[in-house]
A and B are shown apart, each in its own frame.
Chain A
Amino acid sequence: MELTFYVASAIAILATIMVITNYNMIHALLYLVVSFLAVAVVFFTLGAPFMAALEVIIYAGAIVVLIIFVIMMLNLTNEDVQQEKTWLRPKTWIGPALLSLVLLAELAYLVIAEDMPTINNQPVDAREVGLALYGPYLLGVQLCGMLLMAGIVGAYHLGRQKKKVVHRFLERSEI
């Protein structure tokens, strides 16, 4: 049981290292997805299946899709077809695919294994998480709302207008 935890953690670390060392955004994103999936497996082995599901749905799902959309929009002017061809070389996707395969094997093992296999033998299900969040930690949830509001207002202000002055280092190189 502990082995699945360590394998998943190793994959998470490896994938994250690949994210920050890759210069190509899309390549990095592929590894980022793998990293999120690996963290989800880690959560699952630690006895938090609900967190694992959230990790997959929110991070690997929603957030990465958003990032991909942004990148696509930014790159609209380039020769997109050419770009996509370079993205789809086996060299690009073989690494993430292999790592994902290992994760898949782990997941299959976890599902097939008889008892609910967790390290501390006490899985925390969605009901308990919900009771904690909307019971004693209600104020914390509301504070999170304020946090998101600060983020949205700030992002709205900073993203609203095009900046006219470029940074002093870039200014010189562009002229």
Chain B
Amino acid sequence: MSQIDFHYLMPLLILTGGALLTMLVVAIKRNHKIIYVVTALSLIGSFLYLFELRGLQRHVVEPLFVIDGFAILYIGLTLLTSLVISMMSYAYFEQREERKEEYYILILLATLGACTLVISKHFASLFLGLEVLSVSLYALISYLRMRERSDEAGIKYLILAAVSSAFLLFGMALVYASTGTMTFEGIAASIASAYDLPLLMLTGFGMMIIGVGFKLSVVPFHMWTPDVYEGAPAPVTAFIATVSKGGMLGLLIRLFMQVEGFRFQTLVLIFTIVAIASMFAGNLLALMQRNVKRILAYSSISHLGYLLVAFLAGNELGVEAITFYLVAYFITTVGAFGVVTMLSDSEGDAEQLEDYRGLLWRRPWTAAVFTAMLLSLAGIPLTAGFVGKFYILAAGVNTQLWLLVAMLVLNSVIGLYYYIKLIAVMFQQPEAGREPVERLRPSILLASAGTLAVLALLLLYIGVYPTGLVNLIEGLISPATMVQNPSAPLLEAAK
């Protein structure tokens, strides 16, 4: 590793250092506040270092990693989301009786795993990043041992994630067997002249899609989602819904852009079916739920379906649309789970629909933020969710994916129903006998409430004035930085 490699990998090294430092601090003295500050500082430091890298050329750390504008954008998104989640975790874990310190080590490591995913260009780094993320999540999901559901959720995630990893590995092995290389550009070069995928490669890619699909929780690999969302602590649920999926999606985009997977009809067909099934299954199953965390789980399944529509567009506009939608989705999901986190007490998470009855009259500001988040999830104008959905529609129409676009519109209407139902519950009059919730210390409350307020403002800002974000995304993702293309002459020759 040369000095320049150090420079480019510094955000990840800072994260690693932060995790190690946190562990050492835990060994010396257990103090929730100190640990929390160390975690936040390492996330912020890592994020600030990205500005150093911003204007630079794409850099390849052979053979595992590549750092380009796309990677910087996704790392920044991941880091900010982790920071917001750890801000909200502080108040949440302060009320819990369990040891809180290990949580922050695991959060830092999981973030490191997600960041590794988005910069990897080799199967080895892909798998290692995925495993760092998954192994941290196993422990995070069942972190609150006193809870009844935590073990169930943890075991479910452990077994299914292990099986999906096995599928992914087998798929990689098959691809390696037929191409003889594990780097993305090597695979791209070996299939550049092929019009159709050889059977071995197709099986390999299919098995990899199973592994990736599990992490993204798209139908038919979605069965774990509601149970795990319900059983995990609310901040961890937010983490699974955002950082874990975002990292995987970043990787999927990089792999597919590099190997030009959209040329192959079979792969496009697979993703089309998955996208439509995810949209429908997510929205229809959410209709009957009375548990807020499960509603959000099914809603996230359908949102991944929407994202796949833009993914299938497969061009630069599609990548921009995905990224924009991902930013909007991250803000909204973290905000929604942030409200759940804030309303939770030491007994359990506020997850039943009953807990939200009359919220507007009891805690108007919290209810207002939650309403904004739900409206954004539903894609109502003036919120970031609307602009994101519009962007996806534009990408879909641009490449004439009429079927997918029609399904997207239809599903947005279905989805509206359960979001509005949730909002309606908040507007109902509270039951008379209900005692007010006991408040936390103001300093702690300020961290959560402030974070939520920032998220809500950001949501409105992007909804009203999306140009800033669009310019940022366009500036960082350009086709020149995205794909390193040794196969271009070959492709020309094939045509």
Is A149's CB under 8 angstroms from B23's CB?
yes
Given A147-B132, A149-B19, CB of A156 within 8 Å of CB of B124: no
Tell me the nearest residue of chain B to A171, going by C-beta. Answer: B148
Chain B 113-124 interface mask (CB, 8 Å, partner A; 1/0): 100100000001
Q: Please tell me if the beta carbons of A136 and B63 are within 8 angstroms of each other in the complex.
A: yes
- B128 and A140 contact, CB distance less than 8 A: yes
Contacts of B146 in A (CB 8 A): 163-165
- CB-contacts of A12-42 with B (<8 A): none
Chain A residues 114-159 with CB under 8 Å of chain B are 136-140, 142-144, 146-147, 149-151, 153-158
**B143 in complex: contacting residue of A137, A146, A157, CB < 8 Å:** A157
* A165 cross-chain contacts in B, Cβ below 8 A: 146-148
Q: Once the chains bind, are A149 and B109 in contact (CB under 8 Å)?
A: yes
Contacting B128 at CB < 8 Å: which of A147, A158, A161? A147
Do A136 and B62 touch (CB < 8 A)?
yes
Residues of B contacting A: mostly: helix
Contact (Cβ within 8 A) B151 A157: no
Contacts of A144 in B (CB 8 A): 128
Cα A93 to Cα B140 in complex, Å, equals 40
Please tell me if the beta carbons of A137 and B135 are within 8 angstroms of each other in the complex.
no
Contacts of A143 in B (CB 8 A): 116, 125, 128-129, 132
**Distance in Å from the Cβ of B367 to the closest Cβ of chain A?**
32
B124 nearest CB neighbor, chain A only:
A140
B316 at the binding interface (Cβ < 8 Å): no
B145 neighbours in A (Cβ, 8 Å): 158, 161, 163
Q: Are B106 and A153 in contact (CB under 8 A)?
A: yes
Taken together as a complex, chains A and B put the C-alpha atoms of A31 and B121 apart, in Å, by 38
Question: Whole-angstrom distance from the CB of A70 to the nearest CB of chain B?
Answer: 17
Given contacts A137-B64, A143-B128, A149-B109, contact A167 B151 (CB under 8 A): yes
A150-B109, A153-B105, A157-B143 known; A167 vs B148 contact (CB < 8 Å) = yes
Is A160 positioned at the interface, with any CB of B under 8 Å from its CB?
yes
Bound state CA distance, A147 and B145, in angstroms? 22
| A165 to B, closest residue via Cβ | B148
- Tell me, yes or no, whether B4 is within 8 Å of chain A by CB: no
Contact-residue size bin, chain A (C-beta under 8 Å from the other chain):
20 to 34
By the criterion CB–CB under 8 Å, are A167 and B152 in contact? yes
Q: Given the complex of chains A and B, what is the CA–CA distance between A142 and B99 in angstroms?
A: 28
The reply on A168 being an interface residue by CB < 8 A is: yes
Residues of A within 8 A of B135 (CB): 147, 150-151, 154
Q: How distant is the Cα of A151 from the Cα of B113 in the complex, in angstroms? A: 13
**A146 partner residues in chain B, CB cutoff 8 A:** 16, 19, 109, 112-113, 132
Q: Which residues of A contact B131 (CB under 8 A)?
A: 147
> Which residues of A have CB within 8 Å of B16?
142, 146
Given contacts A146-B16, A153-B102, A153-B106, contact A158 B139 (CB under 8 A): yes
Q: B109, B129, B143, B146 — which one has the most chain A CB atoms within 10 A of its CB?
A: B109
- Minimum C-beta distance from B60 to chain A (A): 12
Chain B residues, CB < 8 A from A154: 102, 106, 135-136, 138-140
Which chain B residue lies CB-closest to A155?
Answer: B139
| Of the residues B65, B136, B143, contact of A139 by C-beta under 8 Å | B65
Q: Is B278 an interface residue (CB 8 A)?
A: no
- Asked whether B132 lies within 8 Å of A157 as measured between CB atoms, the reply is no
- Measured between beta carbons, the chain B residues less than 8 angstroms from A158 are 139, 142, 145, 154
Interface residue B61 (Cβ < 8 Å from any Cβ of A) = yes
Q: Are B99 and A160 in contact (CB under 8 A)?
A: yes
Q: Which one of B61, B131, B139, B147 has the highest number of Cβ atoms from chain A below 10 Å of its Cβ?
A: B139
Contact of A157 with B102 at beta-carbon distance under 8 Å, contacts A140-B128, A147-B132 already known? yes
Does B493 lie at the interface of the complex (its beta carbon under 8 Å from any beta carbon of A)?
Answer: no
**B1 contacts A by Cβ under 8 Å:** yes
A8 → chain B closest CB, angstroms? 18
Q: Which of A142, A149, A163 contacts B151 (CB 8 A)?
A: A163
B19→A139 contact, CB < 8 A: no
> Does B138 contact A157, Cβ atoms closer than 8 Å?
no
Closest to A162 in B: B145
Contact partners of B116 in chain A: CB under 8 A: 143
What residues on A are CB-neighbors of B102 within 8 Å? 153-154, 156-157
Instruction: Note all chain A residues with C-beta closer than 8 A to B112.
Output: 146
Question: B124 — which chain A residues lie within 8 A by C-beta?
Answer: 137, 140
For residue A164, which residues in chain B have a CB less than 8 angstroms away from its CB? 146
- Chain A nearest Cβ from B103, distance in angstroms: 8
Q: Provide the residues of chain A in CB contact with B20, threshold 8 Å.
A: 149
Chain B 1-32, CB within 8 Å of chain A: the 1/0 string? Answer: 10000000100000010011001000000000
14 contacts between A and B (CB under 8 A): A139-B9, A140-B64, A140-B128, A143-B125, A149-B23, A153-B105, A153-B109, A154-B102, A156-B102, A157-B102, A157-B139, A158-B154, A165-B148, A167-B151
Interface contacts beyond A137-B63, A155-B139, A165-B147: sample of 5 additional A-B pairs, CB < 8 Å, sorted by A: A137-B64, A143-B116, A149-B23, A154-B136, A154-B140
Interface residues of A (CB under 8 A from B): 136-140, 142-144, 146-147, 149-151, 153-158, 160-161, 163-165, 167-168
Q: List 9 tightest A-B contacts by C-beta distance, closest first.
A: A154-B139, A150-B136, A150-B109, A143-B128, A157-B102, A150-B135, A147-B132, A151-B135, A163-B145
